[in-house]
Amino acid sequence: MAIIPTTGHVGVAAAVVRAASWYLAIGTGSGAEAAGNTTLTTEITTDGGARAAVTPTNSSSNVVTWTYQWTFSSGFTVTEIGLLDAASSGALAIRHLYSSSKAVISGDKLTCTLTMTC
């Protein structure tokens, strides 16, 4: 059996932060999280909810965080978030289905944070 020592976790986190580009996307889908997911179930692409470029932060040696605030011009019920490596299409690195949805209407702001511990 192999292990990843602490320094390895720190190295992975640093590599993630140095990656060329990251994008957060939110959606309205309810499909279960699964290792085979390649997209959000139903990504929001309009009315202020479109995919957004984000810069990760590395607040501690092995924790990476991405945060973005959307401002909506229409209503949605946000149920999922994903981290991708491109402004459109791209590889889905992380997907999360929220345990409770968040309804937003025109004029609302929604801040989402995704955290990865390496």
pLDDT in tens, 75-111: 999 999 999 989 999 999 889 999 999 999 999 999 9
Task: Answer yes or no: pTM beyond 0.75.
Answer: yes
Length of the chain: 118
- Pairing verdict, β 92-104 and 22-27: unpaired
Beta strands of 11-105 (E only): which ranges?
22-27, 52-54, 57-60, 63-71, 76-84, 92-104
pLDDT at 76: 96
DSSP structural state of residue 43: B
Q: Using one digit for the tens of pLDDT, what is the confidence trace for 28-72?
A: 999 999 999 999 999 999 999 999 999 988 866 778 889 999 999
Which residues, including other chains, have CB under 8 Å from residue 79's CB and lie 6 or more apart?
27, 28, 29, 30, 97, 98, 101, 102
Sign of CA dihedral 117, 94, 30, 53: positive
Calculate the alpha carbon distances from 72 to 44, 105, 110 in Å: 11, 7, 8
Query: Rounded to an integer, what distance in angstroms lies between the CA atom of residue 90 and that of residue 85?
Result: 5
